[in-house]
Amino acid sequence: MPLGNLTSQFFANVYLNELDQFVKHQLKAKYYIRYVDDFVILHLSPVILKKWRSKIGSFLYDHLALKLHPDKSKIVFLNRGIDFLGFKIFPQYKLIKRRNHRKFKKKLRENIFLFENEQMDYDKLYDFMEGWVAYVKHANTYKLKQKILTEFETRFFQEISSKEINRITVKKK
């Protein structure tokens, strides 16, 4: 199935439910997080994590015909942060990975170019920004978000999307 397809996410969750049960009930991992095919297990002991990685690798191969990615399966200290779902997660805060921030800025420039050359309407540009805000709200990015939104609103203060018109109309009723 193509990546990004909603059914591929659904079936990955169904298929990997066996992994969830194994990690929770056999390994008894207290801090386990999985999103589709990415997962993180937290533990204070690197020795235990190494054992669990080996057991998970065997379980995936024997029961689900899958292999752990050799470059992505690693044990790291929490104070260095964990790369997970586009964020760098530390014990007390989360940041957007620099690479994702650069990709966003590049895509924003491209979308603004398309809008200014009448190849994209404002609603699509607005949806792009709305999606980005929904994504970054999960990180400690208040200043970054405010800076980008202020620049965006200053540049496009005269534009109004059909969604904003609908919100205004609904409020007046």
What are 45-74's pLDDT values in tens digits?
999 999 999 999 999 999 999 999 988 888
What pLDDT is stored for residue 163 in this prediction?
61
What pLDDT is stored for residue 155 in this prediction?
86
What pLDDT is stored for residue 74 in this prediction?
86
Give the pLDDT band of residue 97 (cuts 50, 70, 90): very high
Rounded to the nearest integer, the mean pLDDT of the chain is: 88
What pLDDT is stored for residue 61 in this prediction?
96
CA separation for the pair 1, 69 (Å, rounded): 19
Comparing 50-59, 107-116, 153-162, the range with the smallest average pLDDT is 153-162
pTM for this structure? 0.68
More confident residue, 86 or 171: 86
What pLDDT is stored for residue 109 in this prediction?
95
Q: Could you tell me the sign of the dihedral formed by the alpha carbons of 136, 140, 143, 144, in that order? A: negative
Tell me what the mean pLDDT of segment 25-29 comes to: 96
Give the pLDDT band of residue 1 (cuts 50, 70, 90): very low
